[in-house]
Structure 1
Amino acid sequence: MSLRIERRALAVGALLVLAAFVMAVLLIGTGDFDIAPWDVVQTLLGNGTPADDFIVNDLRLPRVLVALLVGAALGMAGAVFQSVTRNPLGSPDLLGFSYGSAVGALVVIILLKGSATEVAAGALLGGLLAGAAVYLLAYKRGIHGYRLVLVGIGASAMLLAAIQYLITKAQLVEASRAMVWLTGSLAGRDWAQVWPLLATCAVLFPLVLGQSRALRMIEMGDDAAYAVGVRVERTRLLLMLAAILLTTAASAAAGPISFVALAAPQLARRLTGSPGANLLSAALMGSVVLLLSDWASQRAFGADQLPVGVVTGLVGGVYLLWLLVTERKAGRI
């Protein structure tokens, strides 16, 4: 057995871990009652005052952990989809999986009047059904990246229409609740959202990372992957299923937060300068992007006044325009 470690990728990974830690400490200390970074660290180590201990461990730490896990899940899922489709626009936002989760959640909110736990279950089921439908519709003697993107865009349009129809049928209170969920927010997150998401990531991250070599071969083309012994369709199905589960779990915990899955893998790849999916770097970059967006929303507008999904949407829209211009100049679209 051998392990190849690229120094630049390792350095970038270390810097991203440090950035995630710094942003987590700053975010924990941000709110109506600010806490100094050193006091946050001391409280996390068990040496804080009773007041700081309650604010940090009971009120703010779960929200930060959800942001870390959601960002990492979306970053890794985006890297998988972009590698499978061999397209920088191949992300859950554009392939319909996030919209599938949204439809599932809205059915529970508007039609079934469900609780928060039932909404999360509906989002998970909706995302899985959307993923299965897109895969089956795009399958024709295997999955082709271009065909998968086209089917995903079509599915997104249909699911968006379903979302709009459900909102028009809702009462005012239900419509308001649905719009808050659709925006994507970390407000009010507690340990009930942390543990299921942590368990999902603990199972799926090693599974995806274990297929990183096969994923790199698939990026080179199916024929090249078959030549080195990769079971292409089986591996592609396994990776897509894992990525869909990561996406839907993230949506169930925080709503359909947009553009993190699209931007994080590309930013990570440009920083590391390494070929391939850069799965771990993409996950770390997703965490940093989401933590930074949440911190910016609270600092600019006050705690919980601006959902983090609004910030990622604004930043992601600018990034998407830049990516389209770049890809057009390179002659790839």
Structure 2
Amino acid sequence: MRDQSIEFIMAGRRHRRRRWILVTSLLAALACALCCAMLLLGNTIYPVKDVIASLSGEKIKGVTFAVNTIRLPRMLTGLFAGFAFGIAGHTFQTMLRNPLANPNVIGITSGSSAAAVFCIVVLQASGAVVSLASVIAGLATVLFIYVLSRGKVFSIGRLILIGIGIQAMLDAVISYLLLVSSEKDIPAAIRWLTGSLNGSQMSALPPLVITVLICSPIIILLGKHLSILELGEQSAFSLGVDTDRTRIALIVGSVCMVAIATATTGPIAFVSFLAGPIAKRLVGAGALNSIPAGLVGINLVLGADLIGQFAFEYRFPVGVITGLVGAPYLIFLLMRMNRKGEL
């Protein structure tokens, strides 16, 4: 009887592992296909051999500029920003055991955006200054929300409600900054608020790439601890997890990625909100979903950008398309949580 139980458990583990490998591979293949589409498609569709030759350093009239200067930075920005939004959103939702607890809803991206807009319209800054201010503001926002939500006993519901209130306040600050700014600064500021890959440049990529390459392995390595934190504070502590240090490492890593991604593309709506639940639905419960969530984030950003560019008569920023997809899901989630008495 005992051997049968062990064999049953091992069979379940093997099935979950095979499903994780299959789903992750398919998501990675889809991401690669979307990356190729980003390089091939545009006002002019270039042959594959010309695109490869251009990427290899060969100078081809028209192709080299379009691919290397416009399409490649746009694709890489969407790739790394999508992964950052996806893995960070999943981390917050799992750690706080609530699908609403993601950077978009609890005000973290609003803090980064407010700092970025302030740097643009008031300080007339750009580049590294905006990125640094965005990271500092994101960390300060999450720290402020965490301190206010502790009280006598830490409450996830209180954290979410305070985060929503902070988000509303920061959105008001952004609106005020736009009202008092000069006309020439408004287009650049609006780009942050809608979330767009337009105007992506290779020079703006290093901070995003470095942050993702440093922070995402930390979050992935802490994946087992993240799953244990989902069981609750006392259960995690009894299983030997240093909850405070683990939570701090996960929060700092996630906020840094979200802040830098927001500084690069603007707050692309609902990617961090959708990526985790989609990955969990595809991979299944009990699996480590950090990597699948990051891949889902990539597919959402690149897919939405292609739809925004080619599916309509007019071109729309990627944040508009993800907002159209994410807003109905948010309403559905709120209605379902209300029926279950979770709100």
Distance 1:59 1:198 in 2: 18
2:162 aligned with 1:178? no
| Aligned partner of 1:131 among 138, 142, 149 | 142
Whether the aligned pair in 2 keeps the contact of 1:79 and 1:277 (CA below 8 Å) is no
2:314 aligned with 1:314? no
Deviation sequence 1:279-320 (CA, Å, 0-9, x none) = 1110000000000000001102479x3211111111111221
| Aligned partner of 1:11 among 22, 25, 38 | 22
Residue 273 of structure 2 corresponds to which residue in structure 1? Answer: 262
Residue 325 of structure 1 corresponds to which residue in structure 2? Answer: 335
Shift of 1:46: 6.2
Distance 1:276 1:42 in 2: 41
Q: 1:119 to 1:63 in 2, by over 3 A?
A: same
SS in structure 2 opposite 1:86? coil
Residue 179 of structure 2 corresponds to which residue in structure 1? Answer: 168
Q: 1:113 to 1:213 in 2, by over 3 A?
A: same
Q: 1:72 to 1:246 in 2, by over 3 A?
A: same
Q: Match of 2:333, as an amino acid?
A: L
| Aligned partner of 1:64 among 69, 75, 100 | 75
Shift of 1:324: 2.6
Q: 1:141 to 1:40 in 2, by over 3 A?
A: farther
Q: 1:272 to 1:38 in 2, by over 3 A?
A: farther
SS in structure 2 opposite 1:95? coil
How many corresponding residue pairs? 331
Residue 29 of structure 1 corresponds to which residue in structure 2? Answer: 40
Q: Match of 2:171, as an amino acid?
A: L
Deviation sequence 1:103-153 (CA, Å, 0-9, x none) = 101111121122344333332222222122112222346743222212211
Residue 263 of structure 2 corresponds to which residue in structure 1? Answer: 252
Report which stretch shifted further, 116-125 or 12-21.
116-125
| Aligned partner of 1:90 among 101, 112, 123 | 101
Report which stretch shifted further, 75-84 or 110-119.
110-119
Shift of 1:326: 3.8
Residue 157 of structure 1 corresponds to which residue in structure 2? Answer: 168
| Aligned partner of 1:219 among 201, 217, 230 | 230
> How high is the sequence identity, in percent, across the aligned residues?
34
Indicate the structure (1 or 2) with the bigger Cα radius of gyration.
2
Shift of 1:84: 1.5
Q: Match of 1:308, as an amino acid?
A: V
Whether the aligned pair in 2 keeps the contact of 1:261 and 1:286 (CA below 8 Å) is yes
Distance 1:59 1:69 in 2: 16
Shift of 1:22: 0.5
Residue 111 of structure 1 corresponds to which residue in structure 2? Answer: 122
Q: How does 1:272-287 map to 2 (within 5 A)?
A: 272-275=283-286, 278-287=289-298
Q: Match of 2:324, as an amino acid?
A: L
Q: Match of 1:161, as an amino acid?
A: A
Whether the aligned pair in 1 keeps the contact of 2:115 and 2:137 (CA below 8 Å) is yes
Q: Match of 1:15, as an amino acid?
A: L
Residue 80 of structure 1 corresponds to which residue in structure 2? Answer: 91
Shift of 1:37: 4.8
Q: 1:166 to 1:289 in 2, by over 3 A?
A: same
Q: List gaps (5 residues or longer) in structure 2.
A: 1-12
Whether the aligned pair in 1 keeps the contact of 2:85 and 2:272 (CA below 8 Å) is yes
Whether the aligned pair in 1 keeps the contact of 2:121 and 2:177 (CA below 8 Å) is yes
Shift of 1:55: 2.5
Distance 1:47 1:308 in 2: 31
Shift of 1:24: 0.9
Q: Match of 1:11, as an amino acid?
A: L
Deviation sequence 1:41-100 (CA, Å, 0-9, x none) = 565466784543442223211110110100000000001110121001111001111000
Residue 196 of structure 1 corresponds to which residue in structure 2? Answer: 207
| Aligned partner of 2:156 among 123, 145, 152 | 145
Q: List gaps (5 residues or longer) in structure 1.
A: none
TM-score (norm 1): 0.91
Whether the aligned pair in 2 keeps the contact of 1:85 and 1:146 (CA below 8 Å) is no
Q: Match of 1:309, as an amino acid?
A: G
Deviation sequence 1:19-43 (CA, Å, 0-9, x none) = 0010111111122222245654565
Shift of 1:277: 5.7
2:251 aligned with 1:235? no
Q: Match of 1:170, as an amino acid?
A: S
Q: CA RMSD in A?
A: 2.4
| Aligned partner of 2:113 among 102, 124, 132 | 102
Q: 1:52 to 1:209 in 2, by over 3 A?
A: same
Whether the aligned pair in 1 keeps the contact of 2:16 and 2:287 (CA below 8 Å) is no
